[in-house]
Amino acid sequence: MASREIRSGVFHVGAHHWDRRLFDELIPLPDGTTYNAYLIKGSEMNVLIDSVDPEKVHELMANLENLGISELHYVIANHAEQDHSGGIPKVLDKFPEAKVVTNQKCKTMLMELLHLPEDKFVTVKDREKISLGDRTLEFIIAPWVHWPETMLTYLHEDKILFPCDLFGAHLAGSDLYADDQSRVYESAKRYYAEIMMPFRNLIQKHLTRLEEYPIEIIAPSHGPLHKDTAFILDAYRDWTSDTVKNEVILPYVSMHGSTEKMVNHLIDALIERGVTVKPFNLTKTDIGELAISLVDAATIVIATPTVLVGPHPAAVYATYLANALRPKTRYASVIGSYGWGGKMLEQITGMLGNLKVELLEPVVVKGHPKEADLVALNRLADAILERHKNIGVA
């Protein structure tokens, strides 16, 4: 996509990847993505902020050429992951005089990932500034959004924050800005859930630090930019807060209908008690939808039959992801049926070590659920409601 001017002398020069449908061979991208790179023409220095995925680097190079850039002084590397750094070698081929400006940790990673020589780098520390003549960049070291080397770049005179992945969204639209906030909200929340949620506590601290900076535009490296900065900052404050909602996430899989009958009974029991429930049939669901729901929910109940003496592999996958994403979920339980025996319950609960949850009484039954099993599910719904009331969300 052609470059677009954000402010006088500040351009979006990145690329759209409209039809990309998977990131890291893992994360579904229903709306494609963008790799946003930015060019700042200072009175003395031209600076590129991040590059793009190698697959789209020709679009970045064409944008620089169309803007008549004949000299590039700095390439800022906010993050070493290849969807932003992977185009840097091509940029340096074209502009051999340019230096890569980044922090020490990111420099080490870029030397390993891209085989860049050490003399190509200028390293900066937290709060360090560089002058472009009439403009000033400041670097804010902000580790673990979502790698250990990440930093943010702030353009003082224009009050633009370039936070790389932070505040991003995998959303390839033609709008430069997040004008359609309801659409961007869902996309940004999905992105937060899949990428940022494991680092929630650190991101809370970064949000506090950013309060020191007057910010008029947030220009992330994926998805639309934000002129209404409160929209995305407030959303992040909410998602990273310790507050949970009166919701139960219910990922399930059923082979012969027994576990599904238990799931349907528990759904009705929770609805009767005024608890919101979000079931996900793991044979059909987009795993990203499950991740989004984990951002806010107070409780997760995993429902699985027993196969080959353990949980169904689809339930293993969902449980592994839920554990890796470290949501702020407070309570967990397991329900399901088995034919002759096995270790389903021990294996599922053993996979939840990252979650700081209270484990509520599981309901695991032999064969098709009987009346007493349905009563046990009612007790589980009662226990969930009681816990939700105790923390003031029901």
**Contact, 141 vs 125, CB < 8 A?**
yes
Tell me whether residue 269 is exposed, middle or buried, using C-beta atoms within 10 angstroms of its C-beta: 0 to 12, 13 to 18, 19 or more. Answer: buried
If the CB atoms of residues 81 and 260 are measured against ligand FEO, the closer one turns out to be: 81
Segment contacting ligand FEO by CB under 6 A, of 79-87, 91-99, 258-266, 315-323: 79-87
If the CB atoms of residues 165 and 296 are measured against ligand FEO, the closer one turns out to be: 165
Return all residues near 57 (Cβ < 8 A) that are at least 6 apart: 15, 51, 86, 87, 90, 91
Write out the binding residues for ligand FEO, residues 218-237 only, by CB under 6 A: 221-222
Segment contacting ligand FEO by CB under 6 A, of 5-13, 78-86, 223-231, 277-285: 78-86
Closest distance between ligand FEO and the C-beta of residue 9, in Å?
25
CA triplet 279, 283, 287: central angle to 5 degrees?
Answer: 65
Residue from 31, 149, 165, 373 binding ligand FEO (CB under 6 A): 165
Using rule CB under 6 A, residue 84 touches ligand FEO: yes
Using rule CB under 6 A, residue 31 touches ligand FEO: no
Closest distance between ligand FEO and the C-beta of residue 53, in Å?
9
Q: Which two tokens stand for residue 230?
A: 């409160």
Sign of CA dihedral 148, 152, 153, 156: negative
Site size for ligand FEO (CB under 6 A): 8
CA nearest to 311, candidates 373, 364, 381: 364
DSSP 8-state assignment for residue 360:
P
For the chain, how are helix, strand and coil distributed in percent, rounded to 5?
Answer: 35, 25, 40
DSSP 374-391: HHHHHHHHHHHHHHHHHT
If the CB atoms of residues 20 and 84 are measured against ligand FEO, the closer one turns out to be: 84
Using rule CB under 6 A, residue 388 touches ligand FEO: no
Distance CA 16, CA 167 (A): 17
Using rule CB under 6 A, residue 81 touches ligand FEO: yes
If the CB atoms of residues 27 and 267 are measured against ligand FEO, the closer one turns out to be: 27
If the CB atoms of residues 54 and 342 are measured against ligand FEO, the closer one turns out to be: 54
If the CB atoms of residues 56 and 79 are measured against ligand FEO, the closer one turns out to be: 79
Closest distance between ligand FEO and the C-beta of residue 164, in Å?
7
Closest distance between ligand FEO and the C-beta of residue 161, in Å?
16
Peptide bond into 84 cis (omega under 30): no
If the CB atoms of residues 9 and 89 are measured against ligand FEO, the closer one turns out to be: 89
Closest distance between ligand FEO and the C-beta of residue 162, in Å?
13
CB-nearest residue to ligand FEO: 81
Q: Which two tokens stand for residue 218?
A: 């947030």
Using rule CB under 6 A, residue 79 touches ligand FEO: yes
Segment contacting ligand FEO by CB under 6 A, of 60-68, 76-84, 264-272, 315-323: 76-84
Q: Which two tokens stand for residue 65?
A: 């050429």
Using rule CB under 6 A, residue 83 touches ligand FEO: yes
Task: Give how far the C-alpha of residue 325 lies from the chain's centroid of Cα atoms, to the nearest Å.
Answer: 9
Distance CA 253, CA 97 (A): 57
The helix/strand/coil state of 358 is strand
For ligand FEO, the binding residues (CB under 6 A) are: 79, 81, 83-84, 146, 165, 221-222
